[in-house]
Structure 1
């Protein structure tokens, strides 16, 4: 389909923050291409400038204790909405909300925040095995990969938690060392879900070793690594380049407000651009984090460092206007467009 114009107000604000010239419209080949948001399907070009790894609420009490009774929507909205409105003023139009099931995923809350903020929010299906399986439900240990995939596929087909909200991606997570048998099963389930639904697989991973093992599992099942987002990608530059050669998405999603973080991530982005991997890059903050059980939801970190510091840093070091668009608009839309990607 031909590109759909990005909302003009959001576009102007984003460009003002980033110091960029007018964005080029996106051009997707598939007439029926779409991305799932909590408010339904949108055309990929409607995603606009996006942050691809953020959180509204996270609850680390554990899968055996978590309950939505531990937070009140009104309290969360009061705390979080100003931060969403702040980043919207910077020109960000969409946020991929990465909180998985059993760590605080609440799609009804996300729907309310989407309406109140005017942002497009994307949620997920899948289970999170990192942190030594504390956030896995009991059945994740005993069911087959096929059975777990059937649960996730059902959320895609029928909606999450009795709602009409469909996931926009698969979220899983593994420990930072070699993949355990359990985590291999989670990745297998994610691959099977992708082949049925076309949802992109985002896996909390970290180092290159488990990332490469995940990619090998996907490839053995016929899933193109282009369907895989290497979340929290880190390691030596050589390790990152070697893993990126698979075609996977490289997600630099822990950008902090400190100058050291801005500079380090900015330098890595420019290095990966020079190496030819710019079209595989995704960036975000991994920020937010309303925490139930803490007074006032605890300390909440906003979502504006990329707009305020990272984009200006990149432009000061030679990034052109069309490359800002590639990084903030094209790459997120390409990554999260629902499409089965087979080898």
Structure 2
């Protein structure tokens, strides 16, 4: 009888808000409560280096040039009501957590970096060990970054970034996802997988399902590469639908995709962003940077100048926009 009473008491306490587990987002400056991250852009970049893993990707020691160039853009973003930026530059493509931390401190913008490996673009950005080690070995490398920080910086990743092509996952891509699932089980970090098509995203979801892992831990990055029906189907399964690439040239198409999801009552599974950033033109130096050629003359801005006004005009409410930019990202990236 006493044992039953104790069990009943523990269950009652666990249901009480005071004893509920707090959810956090891991930023480059440490943990932030998930319900306090504010409005968030779910897929952006600061600087990238597209030279490929076959060459040593030199991260410049002098970052004063890039700070002078990019900090004003982040301050403008902060002024537009964005509090958090998910920075999606993977390892071996110029990831620089120390730079992100400096920019986060100077702008007071939460910035989230990642662990993982990017298998898209014909495996150009994969190091040799990606081909020789098994999933458990690769997962242990990523787990070390989660546990101890990236490269001696003490800065921990807030999600796992993968990349895939336009077909069903091949053996390497499937191995990367298997490694990500191993780490996600331990850490509860979400898995953001760049997918070149709906077929690739569905293949990733099916592997996740066979592994008995949570569909809400999978983010279909570049979901604009699929169809309305594919997006609605995976959203209905619990997958996060990330429309990354809003630009001055494409925002009308994005509005159509979002309105389709609204009609299907799926806005609670939606993330949106620009996929903006700068590319390094000289390996080992930040002196020459090019803004991504993805259709935005001013980075991180078209969402506010074009897309959101059009969505409001089409009947998307302010509370729905707040849900997409604040609640969804808080739920998606929390652990």
Instruction: Answer yes or no: is the 8 Å Cα contact 2:66–2:287 preserved in 1.
Output: no
Distance 1:273 1:28, change over 3 A: farther
Q: Which residue of 2 aligns with 1:215?
A: 205
Tell me the CA shift for residue 31 of structure 1: 3.4
Tell me the CA shift for residue 240 of structure 1: 2.0
Q: Which residue of 1 aligns with 2:38?
A: 48
Q: Which of 205, 226, 234 matches 2:216?
A: 226
Aligned positions of 1:105-124 closer than 5 A: 105-124=95-114
Q: Which residue of 1 aligns with 2:10?
A: none
Instruction: Answer yes or no: is the 8 Å Cα contact 1:44–1:334 preserved in 2.
Output: yes
Deviates more, 1:234-243 or 1:270-279: 234-243
Larger radius of gyration: 2
In 1, distance between residues paired with 2:18 and 2:226? 33
Tell me the CA shift for residue 316 of structure 1: 0.8
Q: Which of 324, 329, 332 matches 1:332?
A: 329
Q: Which residue of 2 aligns with 1:278?
A: 267
Q: Which of 254, 269, 272 matches 2:245?
A: 254
Q: Which of 241, 265, 272 matches 2:232?
A: 241
Instruction: Answer yes or no: is the 8 Å Cα contact 2:49–2:57 preserved in 1.
Output: no
Tell me the CA shift for residue 69 of structure 1: 4.2
In 1, distance between residues paired with 2:62 and 2:102? 12
Distance 1:39 1:173, change over 3 A: same
Instruction: Confirm or deny that 1:67 pairs with 2:67.
Output: no
Aligned positions of 1:283-298 closer than 5 A: 283-293=272-282, 296-298=288-290
Q: Which residue of 1 aligns with 2:88?
A: 98
Deviates more, 1:277-286 or 1:305-314: 305-314
Distance 1:307 1:71, change over 3 A: farther
State the SS of the aligned residue for 1:67: coil
Tell me the CA shift for residue 242 of structure 1: 2.2
Instruction: Answer yes or no: is the 8 Å Cα contact 1:176–1:207 preserved in 2.
Output: yes
Q: Deviations over 1:235-255 (max 9, x none)?
A: 222222223222100000111
In 2, distance between residues paired with 1:245 and 1:69? 41
Q: How many residue pairs align between the two structures? A: 310
Instruction: Answer yes or no: is the 8 Å Cα contact 1:80–1:290 preserved in 2.
Output: no
State the SS of the aligned residue for 2:237: coil
In 1, distance between residues paired with 2:132 and 2:89? 23
Q: Which residue of 1 aligns with 2:12?
A: none
Q: Which residue of 1 aligns with 2:187?
A: 197
Unaligned runs of 5+ in 1: 1-26, 339-343
Q: Which has a greater percent of strand?
A: 2
Aligned positions of 1:66-85 closer than 5 A: 66-70=56-60, 72-85=62-75
Distance 1:184 1:49, change over 3 A: same
Q: Deviations over 1:285-324 (max 9, x none)?
A: 0001242428631235510111222111111111112111
Aligned positions of 1:170-185 closer than 5 A: 170-185=160-175
In 1, distance between residues paired with 2:78 and 2:314? 25
Instruction: Answer yes or no: is the 8 Å Cα contact 2:51–2:57 preserved in 1.
Output: no
Unaligned runs of 5+ in 2: 1-16, 293-297
Q: Deviations over 1:198-239 (max 9, x none)?
A: 100000113111111111111111211110000001222222
Q: Which residue of 2 aligns with 1:14?
A: none
Instruction: Answer yes or no: is the 8 Å Cα contact 1:255–1:284 preserved in 2.
Output: yes
Q: Which of 1, 5, 21 matches 1:31?
A: 21
Distance 1:84 1:196, change over 3 A: same
Q: Which residue of 2 aligns with 1:15?
A: none
In 1, distance between residues paired with 2:50 and 2:60? 11
Tell me the CA shift for residue 30 of structure 1: 4.0
